[in-house]
A and B are shown apart, each in its own frame.
Chain A
Amino acid sequence: MSFWFWFGLRRGIQTTRYPRVLESEPGVSPGRPLATRFASFEEAQEAASQCPVDAILAHDALAEIELGRCIHCQRCHFDAARPLEWASDYEWTTIPAGNRSYQALPKAYRRSLHVIVVDAGDCGACLHEVKQLNNPLYNMHRLGIFFTPTPRAADVLLVVGPVSENMRVPLLKTYEAMPDPKRVLAVGACAISGGVFGRSSMSAGGVFSVLPVDLEVPGDPPPPLAVLHGLLTVTGRKMPTMKANDSVRST
């Protein structure tokens, strides 16, 4: 049995140095489209019409992105005659449009944060990316972040999926059972805007329609480092990097 010990040691430390140093290995993030300035309004509108979920909005010659809606189909990048610019970053955490009074958790939570994850109709991708944070390449325990199966011990409610009708009550019960102070993190396009499932009699079209959301991590799915950035932002160890586009959300 001792061979497992040596087997593990021999592989060496594989863990990323994020958040001290930005991780740059190719493949850690699929990236995201960037707001791109075109020559004219028509060109920007042409780029916007590529998007199957209306996540691109043309403002004059500028094609703006509502990342909370982007489902990462890459049609604006690979297929388009006029491709949008593409960034390969992953620090995407956003304060939702309706939430003006966001506050990070108190300092005591910085190195001890317990997270409960609720799968509320997720396709498995976001959930799996969250799960990856436990593997040695990300190892979020080193940052003092832990998953917990019980809402009584949880500080953060991490929700993936558009909130299916059958999960609405379990989600609410989980939230109610959590002690204060607590924060809600909506992870993935579905949890933010309903994604491809939208709002229907089967799904609520996003966590915001059921619970007050404190922070959003866009992406379909957001890569593990984006989720980690979200969790670090909850404790104030990182700052939200983007502002939600109010004008798009209100329509």
Chain B
Amino acid sequence: MNVAPLPASAPERMDFDGLVANLQERFHCSVSTVDSGAIGAVLLRDLASLPPLCRFLFWEAGCPFGGLIVEERTRNWELHYLFLAPSTGWIEVVVELPLEVTSIPSISSEVHAADWHEREAEDLFGLQFEKHPRLGDFILHDQCWEENVAPFRKRFDIRQVNANRQRNADWRPLLVVRDPGAFAMPVGPVYEGGIGESVHFMLETVGEDVLRAVPRLFFNFRGVEKLAEGRSVAQTLLLSERFAAKSSIAHSLAFCSAVERICGAVVPQRATQVRVLLCELERLRHHAGTIAGICESTALTVSAAQAAIIEERLLRTSCRFTGHRYLFGLNTPGGLRRNFTGEECNDLLLATGEAVEQLHVLEERLSFTSSFLDRLEEVGVVNPASGRDLNLVGPVGRASGRCHDLRRECPYGSYDRYVFEPPRENEGDGYARLRVLFGEAYQSGNLIHQVIESLDAGPICAPCNTNHSGAALGWAEAPIGATIHWVRLDSSGTVERYRAITPSFNNWMGFHVAAENFAFQDFPIILATFGLSATECDR
């Protein structure tokens, strides 16, 4: 495997004042304060300076890219490029354009992490990104949809069922490998023992080794962001919980905190603490499931079975504790829908403690099983340079030397009250990802313990009147990584724009780096160690 050398020195992270001074000096634009949850917005008038500005923020100021939010307002386009400023918070680079303009300079060649975001905006809004290397056929698959649909434009009515769509049966995937004897092996969208999520891969190969495996996603695209438009906050909350069930608490929390920010609701202390509790319960369960998946992919059946037992027990614990195995229906703007007694909390503490103990035993055994380690070590390597380039988030990013964790970088809820240090590895291979998963699972158990030990009394929910107009960000560290939600409400509490930037979307973009030059039988292992969710990416 070719490993690119590390950059000579990681860029120094500028402090916020240095950043503001630099922006003023070099780009003649100032950082204004906003009330959307970001610490500042840079209003950019000169489109030509957009790519260099983004380049400066990402590469020189060391601000990871958060995502691109496109909004169609009544008279103009509003584009928000989000960056996470060093130890302070989000910075928005705002570009406003008249609606007639549909061509914008692409920043992908400067900030690679923006690649998929721009492709998405092109597909859904019909915006053209100048000099973008590859647009078209992304979310709306070319074999199903005609060109120029732009379903996220306001003029498109998503409730209208278009049954007589012109299908392009001649569509063929783009193949890159041109070696003599090269062929492509299609995998998916129905595959993996019959119980996999819908993803399609083209494994391009010349025989034994796969040279390149690029995922084709969005089979599960349900247009959640567009469906939310015109719905009430309560209805959109149902969508935010149910578009990706394995991280439903994190997504609904991000949505709720955006709404709370718009409406100025103050969440009671107890509610913020119980939210931490639920987030960590979800993380623990998710990681136990991912570990089970990794064990299964290496065909170590006993360990897979034991990890699956731990996961199922945690699902049952969640159900006993909250009434739902996937923690649906708990978050609500202003707090939580139901309170928990001390007895219920102690029951949860016992159950999670037991799960953590069993995970410890499992990890110890796995670390002595050489046949298992052989299959994980140096498989699916993402070196720190690529991890940074592609802005990997969550456990996958942290296994490649990145230290970004919104719980620490941009604390929400009451995370700043608790002591924890996200585990971090530098190897970036499958085994590093497994170690990070185990480490985070233990830490979640520890956080649950800390929360229950110091749980405040008091109300669990404050009233939240949603009849406020405005827009705001909400964020949370989902089990797979950072999730950022943008909500705009009109004065009657109806959602005008909902945007969910999900960690799987980020990490699927980086998946192809790990899936280069590998043996066929390693493919399920690389896939399992990434632990990604297609449906969370697709929305």
A contacts, CB < 8 Å to B: 1, 3-5, 7-8, 11, 14, 25-31, 52-53, 71-75, 77-79, 115-125, 127-132, 134-138, 147-149, 151, 154, 161-162, 164-170, 174, 195-203, 220-221, 223
CB pair A223–B300 under 8 Å, yes or no, is no
CB pair A30–B323 under 8 Å, yes or no, is yes
CB pair A116–B323 under 8 Å, yes or no, is no
A9 to B189, CA, bound (A): 37
Partner of A8, one of B197, B226, B306: B306
Highest count of chain B CB atoms <10 Å: which of A73, A78, A195: A73
A-B contact count (CB 8 A): 215
Within residues 211 to 247 of chain B, which ones have a CB less than 8 A from any CB in chain A?
A: 218-224, 226-227, 234-235, 238-239, 242-246
Partner of B325, one of A75, A123, A223: A223
Within residues 361 to 412 of chain B, which ones have a CB less than 8 A from any CB in chain A?
A: 365, 368-369, 371
CB pair A79–B337 under 8 Å, yes or no, is yes
State how many angstroms separate the Cβ of A116 from the closest Cβ of chain B: 5
Judge whether B151 is part of the interface by a CB distance below 8 angstroms: yes
CB neighbours (8 Å) of B538 from chain A are 164
CB neighbours (8 Å) of A197 from chain B are 222, 224, 227, 239
CB neighbours (8 Å) of A203 from chain B are 222-223
CB pair A137–B312 under 8 Å, yes or no, is yes
CB pair B246–A124 under 8 Å, yes or no, is yes
Judge whether B191 is part of the interface by a CB distance below 8 angstroms: yes
Partner of A200, one of B158, B308, B323: B158
A148 to B194, CA, bound (A): 5
Partner of B365, one of A4, A52, A167: A4
Select the stretch in B7-15, B103-111, B267-275, B314-322 that faces chain A. Answer: B314-322
- A4-B369, A5-B302, A124-B533 given as contacts; is B238 within 8 A of A196 (CB)? yes
Judge whether B449 is part of the interface by a CB distance below 8 angstroms: no
CB pair B302–A166 under 8 Å, yes or no, is no
- Further contacts, 20 of them, CB under 8 A, given A30-B323, A198-B227: A3-B368, A11-B309, A14-B309, A27-B325, A28-B319, A30-B325, A31-B323, A74-B324, A116-B194, A119-B198, A124-B246, A125-B326, A128-B245, A136-B305, A137-B312, A165-B145, A166-B221, A167-B219, A195-B242, A220-B242
- A7-B365, A25-B316, A136-B305 given as contacts; is B219 within 8 A of A170 (CB)? yes
CB neighbours (8 Å) of B371 from chain A are 1
A168 to B224, CA, bound (A): 18
CB pair B220–A121 under 8 Å, yes or no, is yes
Partner of A120, one of B198, B308, B369, B533: B198
A223 to B325, CA, bound (A): 8
CB neighbours (8 Å) of B369 from chain A are 1, 4
CB neighbours (8 Å) of A128 from chain B are 245-246, 289
Judge whether B341 is part of the interface by a CB distance below 8 angstroms: no
CB neighbours (8 Å) of B309 from chain A are 11, 14, 135-137
Judge whether B16 is part of the interface by a CB distance below 8 angstroms: no
- A136-B305, A196-B238 given as contacts; is B244 within 8 A of A123 (CB)? yes
State how many angstroms separate the Cβ of B514 from the closest Cβ of chain A: 22
Judge whether B161 is part of the interface by a CB distance below 8 angstroms: yes
A-side interface mostly: loop
CB pair B245–A202 under 8 Å, yes or no, is no
Within residues 119 to 156 of chain B, which ones have a CB less than 8 A from any CB in chain A?
A: 140-141, 143-145, 151
Give B325-352 as 1s and 0s: 1 = Cβ < 8 Å from A's Cβ atoms: 1101100000001100000000000000
Nearest-neighbor residue (CB-CB) of A114 within chain B: B194
Highest count of chain A CB atoms <10 Å: which of B140, B193, B303, B320: B193
Nearest-neighbor residue (CB-CB) of A9 within chain B: B302
Nearest-neighbor residue (CB-CB) of A126 within chain B: B245
CB pair B151–A201 under 8 Å, yes or no, is yes
- A52-B238, A79-B337 given as contacts; is B316 within 8 A of A164 (CB)? no
Highest count of chain A CB atoms <10 Å: which of B224, B311, B312: B312
CB neighbours (8 Å) of A73 from chain B are 238, 328-329
Partner of A124, one of B167, B226, B245, B311: B245
Within residues 193 to 210 of chain B, which ones have a CB less than 8 A from any CB in chain A?
A: 193-198
A1 to B192, CA, bound (A): 27
A202 to B198, CA, bound (A): 16
A223 to B326, CA, bound (A): 10
A-B contact pairs, 22 of them (CB 8 A): A3-B365, A4-B303, A4-B365, A7-B302, A14-B309, A30-B324, A31-B323, A71-B328, A73-B329, A123-B242, A128-B289, A134-B195, A138-B312, A147-B195, A148-B194, A164-B219, A166-B144, A167-B219, A170-B198, A198-B227, A200-B227, A201-B223
A27 to B285, CA, bound (A): 14
A147 to B303, CA, bound (A): 20
Highest count of chain A CB atoms <10 Å: which of B218, B222, B226: B222
- A135-B308, A195-B242, A220-B328 given as contacts; is B162 within 8 A of A201 (CB)? yes
State how many angstroms separate the Cβ of A184 from the closest Cβ of chain B: 14
- A27-B317, A170-B189, A203-B222 given as contacts; is B141 within 8 A of A136 (CB)? no
Highest count of chain A CB atoms <10 Å: which of B158, B239, B248, B324: B324
A122 to B242, CA, bound (A): 9
State how many angstroms separate the Cβ of B160 from the closest Cβ of chain A: 6
